[in-house]
Amino acid sequence: MSKKTSTTSNQAKTSVFNDEQKQLDSRKQALLTESSKGSDLSVTSERVGADFSCKDPSSMSSSYEDGGLYCYEGLKNCHRGKISIIGMGMVGSSYAYSLIQSGLARELVIVDANKDRARGEYLDLSHALSFVPPISIKEGDIKDTSDSQLIVISAGVSQSGPNESRLQLVLRNVAILDKIIPDLVKYAPHANILIATNPVDILVSYTEKIIRTKNLKFMGSVLGSGTVLDSARFQFLLSKHFRINVANVHGMIIGEHGDSELPVWSLANISGMPLKEFALHNGISFNDEIKKEIFTNTRFAAKQIISTKGATYYAIGLSLLKITEAILKDSNTILNVSGTSIPYFGIDPEVSIGYPSVVGGNGIKSRIKLKLSEEEQHGFRESAKVLKNIIDSL
């Protein structure tokens, strides 16, 4: 390229840049003028890494700069990208660690009954801010969750050992919800509440019961992590057996996040090919005994991990991040979250249970109508009955 051509090209780039800069300055000046006239919106220079949804989009304006987003204070309902975590144990802290690396959140509030624990996690996470996308981190109390777009509850007593079922935890953990839910609803009435504490299905139903019986003014949504992690474990074990990248394996676990869950073998596939057909074409053994082994290892994966390292937290942390992404990006992603009001198979509407759902900015938007086999339909109903019996006893 000649020197003359290069100079002309650089001049053209400079002209385009200057034009864009003038337009940006004009938009910023207009916003500042609006603010000086008494608007309750004030511009900040904070940037976030994604375009988030909000309960009331009309309550905020936004303008883009260099792929980022100008944020505004004074939102009527919720702050875009503000996430609060209640409970900074191993699950909460693993989720927080994944979250700050993701660029999804603009603001993170961490709350724990153990103030020293909260302080330590706050400091540890804050020391990593040089290495992650811009985010504000704060340790606080329930009142600091005000205007959160998403509240993740991971507070509670964990399983005491591999022989304790998730359902046995219920009486020890519902008391925590009795204490925190009214205050959370008071300070963040428009938030999506995502529950990770076990037994997750029971606690989602119980949270909705608290809101209903106490007549709390709550305009948000409640959902649980459900069988998102169980399905990921199932897909991993299938990928290992078939020696195929897990991204190409499609399978799901539905029902209780616990002992009564069930695999949907009738719909499991590898890039659209049914498992039996894939096995036949590739000379891979696949029979009822192998299926039983895969599902057994899926269902009891947590017990195996607890017996060796004491708790599970990395994979559930990333599962929560996946749900978070669907909510903050309003992406309409199908995930096996836990929620009430399943419209199919005669499930009691007050039972929260893991089932494929379209998840977006308002939590669970709709359900997918699965074509389950008769055996799978029966198993799903039985799982719901197990949960219903516990819910009725609370």
pLDDT digits (tens, 9 = 90+) for 26-45: 544 544 444 444 333 332 22
How many Å apart are CA 278 and CA 168, to the nearest integer? Answer: 40
Go through the domains of the chain in sequence order and give each one's CATH number: 82-224 (3.40.50.720), 228-393 (3.90.110.10)
Q: Is 344 helix (H, G, I), strand (E, B) or coil?
A: coil
Written as six digits, the tokens of 393 are 């006893």
Closest CA relative to residue 344, chosen from 367, 312, 361: 367
Report, as an integer, the average pLDDT of 143-172.
82
Closest CA relative to residue 303, chosen from 166, 197, 155, 202: 166
Report, as an integer, the average pLDDT of 9-17.
46
How many Å apart are CA 41 and CA 38, to the nearest integer? Answer: 9
Cα radius of gyration rounded to whole Å, the chain:
24
> Residue 268: pLDDT above 50?
yes
Dihedral sign, Cα of residue 271, residue 291, residue 199, residue 101: negative
Written as six digits, the tokens of 289 are 């005994």
Catalytically annotated residue among 79, 190, 241, 257: 257
- 55 vs 183, higher pLDDT: 183
Closest CA relative to residue 43, chosen from 58, 27, 23: 27
**E-state strands within the chain:** 42-43, 64-65, 68-69, 72-73, 82-86, 107-111, 136-139, 150-153, 192-195, 221-224, 249-250, 253-254, 262-263, 269-270, 273-274, 333-335, 338-339, 353-354, 357-360, 363-367
> Residue 352: pLDDT above 50?
yes
pLDDT category, 297, cuts 50, 70, 90?
very high
Beta-bridged to residue 111, according to DSSP, are 86
Report, as an integer, the average pLDDT of 97-118.
97
Report, as an integer, the average pLDDT of 251-275.
97
| Known catalytic residue at 257 | yes
Q: Show the DSSP H helices in 112-252 as ranges.
A: 115-126, 170-187, 200-213, 228-242
Q: What pTM, to 2 d.p., does this model score?
A: 0.80
